[in-house]
Structure 1
């Protein structure tokens, strides 16, 4: 028999004697987590706009069902119809699961205020994680990702990089706690850096904790804008943002004089001021052993 004691709670042990069980047996542990006092309090404090009369399911219950389905690995809302008949889900969650049409109506009726409430829920969760981690450093990774869509969803667009129609959201995560700090949904045809400064400013005004004494932001070349760099400098935040070689003006720097040793990792640096920058900044050059070169401001 295989048995494992949870590191988070030594009173709980998971065992497997080889008997056939449901592939969703992990729901027992997930249910324990969601029903713990701290987590249940977080979700019970979510205030959705709800003008329905005599609803069978509260909106928070529908939100939890969606989260459960995603954690289980189900990516399609249609699975809700299967789960409504699943004995294991009924036993674990002590209620019938909502049907696919109910889930779809929940999603389609979410308001901007509801989305803000979900962002606030995420901030509360992250705040608890920060308190328990006691990290004094915050390493923010700013990036964009891509969600392919189908049908006629609102504000979708064609992305020439991914050659698909969908969304191109901004996302910011912390590398130390592996938590999502903030997300902003954008049309698929939005350039990587568009709105990034306002996105970061929004997080700095609401998401920082006094325990973070050192904050570093990392970003790709799509975020190498003077507005963002000035915003970070004005808030005493360190940053490393990649620059494209072709974006470096040869009138201001001679790239042929950089230190390179074939087969070795070498570093170099120089002062550089682009025409759109308000001042010169240090640019670090990384040459890897395979001949690739990166420029980081």
Structure 2
């Protein structure tokens, strides 16, 4: 039974009759399509294996760790990022089904119970969860890929309480945490999430995290080429040294424009300005520097982009060990710039799946929250891959030229048309909520089946039907045969 008291209120009139709203104690839910994500999780076994890593200190719990983890992860997917939401959702029949309980049975865990479990997670549990994330990423490939691109980046989480390790960051001008994620450009998965204290440098421990991930990948795929991309916040000697020590690892890392780089690229910038003034056309030129900073054991390649357009000039630099940089520095820079797509994954994680909702007092509880939000993001990624409709390459662009090598404008048009043609495969969390998850339904339990009934006038029924058909035919890859 819901902890909320039943409400009744009037909103407007029809045919001179008041329209009354009333809450009823029936097996009704507003999130019927969420069962599709539960079906995927059943095949992947993610929430079960994650919950098994928690050293639950409760001697005889009424609500298992698995039940609570599922409440939280599936609640995040549906847009309920706060623990308090579950004081109402604990009575929801769909959430009960996901927790493998009868819709007519007892209610699920309340907010205090959920909070106690989150705060009971230990440092040892979290270390095992980090390995769990890397393992789930590695096993997502059924055959050895030729190359993998790992992007690493951070985003801020403003804090409004006295959480442990919340500190003031001068750049963001706020008290905060920093969430850092390693993501994969080939399949959009979050490979390894982490949580930094508020004033930490973005690169703190980043080289070690990347080394752990790369070593795990190498154990399964010894011949894959790995490319690491990061912005200038990760341009530190430890990062270069670590990546160069690992065999077969390429990197492209943003480099801060200092006085020396500006001086050595000033001539190219002036030439670009002159060409723009004479032709009126935007200019975009590149310079390759053999550069050795103080403290570097040897020189490294730096690509400098000098861009001039109607809005002004723009210079950017990238330090890289890509072998083709001397032949095509512009291509190496553009490949680095494509890491902007990984920032969209972080945007989804922060803004749509609310990974900045870290309001527990204990740091380790908040790191556990980051991991649950990241599992929700990866479930969304996997279900998108299952239902996506891959367009023909010549549908949007010149078939003779790979999409990656075409102009930024062509790439933008390609992605825009993909989203229009395939709203689920290209859809953000908000799209999945409106087109699949958020459908009012009645749950009826029979002896032989469970019926989930929804309105015949729901406009997105074909989307849910398509997802159900594709999920029913989806089988988790046989990892032993890969």
Q: What is the DSSP-based 3-state SS (H/G/I as helix, E as strand, rest coil) of the residue aligned with 1:150? A: coil
Counterparts of 2:71 and 2:196, CA distance in 1: 25
Task: Give the drift of 1:55.
Answer: 0.9
2:67 is the counterpart of 1:67: no
2:181 is the counterpart of 1:162: no
Q: What is the DSSP-based 3-state SS (H/G/I as helix, E as strand, rest coil) of the residue aligned with 1:267? A: strand
Counterparts of 1:61 and 1:121, CA distance in 2: 19
Q: How does 1:132-151 map to 2 (within 5 A)?
A: 134-151=144-161
Task: Give the drift of 1:45.
Answer: 7.8
Higher relative contact order (CA 8 A, sep 6+): 2
Which position in structure 1 is the counterpart of 2:119? 108
Counterparts of 1:92 and 1:169, CA distance in 2: 28
Counterparts of 1:187 and 1:117, CA distance in 2: 20
2:132 is the counterpart of 1:121: yes
Tell me how many residue pairs correspond in the alignment. Answer: 273
Counterparts of 1:198 and 1:92, CA distance in 2: 37
Q: How does 1:43-122 map to 2 (within 5 A)?
A: 43=49, 46-91=52-97, 93-95=99-101, 96-122=107-133
8 Å CA contact retained: 1:138, 1:212? no
Q: State the Cα deviation string for residues 237-272 of structure 1 (Å, max 9, x = none).
A: 11111111126467xx62322363431221121111
Counterparts of 2:152 and 2:222, CA distance in 1: 21
Task: Give the drift of 1:29.
Answer: 0.9
Which position in structure 2 is the counterpart of 1:278? 297
Q: State the Cα deviation string for residues 18-37 of structure 1 (Å, max 9, x = none).
A: xxx8431212212212222x
Which position in structure 2 is the counterpart of 1:206? 216
Q: State the Cα deviation string for residues 180-200 of structure 1 (Å, max 9, x = none).
A: 111221111112223322232
8 Å CA contact retained: 2:47, 2:69? no
> Structure 1 pair 44/74, CA: closer, same or farther in 2 (3 Å)?
closer
Counterparts of 1:269 and 1:152, CA distance in 2: 48
8 Å CA contact retained: 2:47, 2:70? no
Counterparts of 1:123 and 1:142, CA distance in 2: 14
Match among 260, 265, 282 for residue 255 of structure 1: 265
CA RMSD of aligned residues (A): 2.4
2:241 is the counterpart of 1:241: no
Structure possessing the higher radius of gyration over alpha carbons: 2
Task: Give the drift of 1:288.
Answer: 3.0
> Structure 1 pair 213/44, CA: closer, same or farther in 2 (3 Å)?
closer
Task: Give the drift of 1:49.
Answer: 1.3
Greater helix fraction, Structure 1 or Structure 2: 2
8 Å CA contact retained: 1:248, 1:274? no
Q: How does 1:8-19 map to 2 (within 5 A)?
A: none
Match among 42, 60, 63 for residue 35 of structure 1: 42
> Structure 1 pair 81/214, CA: closer, same or farther in 2 (3 Å)?
same
Instruction: Structure 2 unaligned segments of length 5 or more: list them.
Output: 1-27, 102-106, 277-281, 320-482
2:242 is the counterpart of 1:231: yes
Q: What is the DSSP-based 3-state SS (H/G/I as helix, E as strand, rest coil) of the residue aligned with 1:173? A: strand
Counterparts of 1:169 and 1:277, CA distance in 2: 29
TM-score using structure 2 length:
0.53
> Structure 1 pair 185/267, CA: closer, same or farther in 2 (3 Å)?
same
Task: Give the drift of 1:42.
Answer: 5.7
Task: Give the drift of 1:120.
Answer: 2.6
8 Å CA contact retained: 1:140, 1:216? yes
2:314 is the counterpart of 1:292: yes
Q: What is the DSSP-based 3-state SS (H/G/I as helix, E as strand, rest coil) of the residue aligned with 1:129? A: coil
Counterparts of 1:27 and 1:99, CA distance in 2: 20
8 Å CA contact retained: 2:291, 2:302? yes
8 Å CA contact retained: 1:31, 1:93? no
Which position in structure 2 is the counterpart of 1:13? none
8 Å CA contact retained: 1:173, 1:182? yes
> Structure 1 pair 106/257, CA: closer, same or farther in 2 (3 Å)?
same
Counterparts of 1:138 and 1:122, CA distance in 2: 16
8 Å CA contact retained: 1:169, 1:185? yes
Q: State the Cα deviation string for residues 86-105 of structure 1 (Å, max 9, x = none).
A: 23333554423211111100
Counterparts of 1:57 and 1:29, CA distance in 2: 23
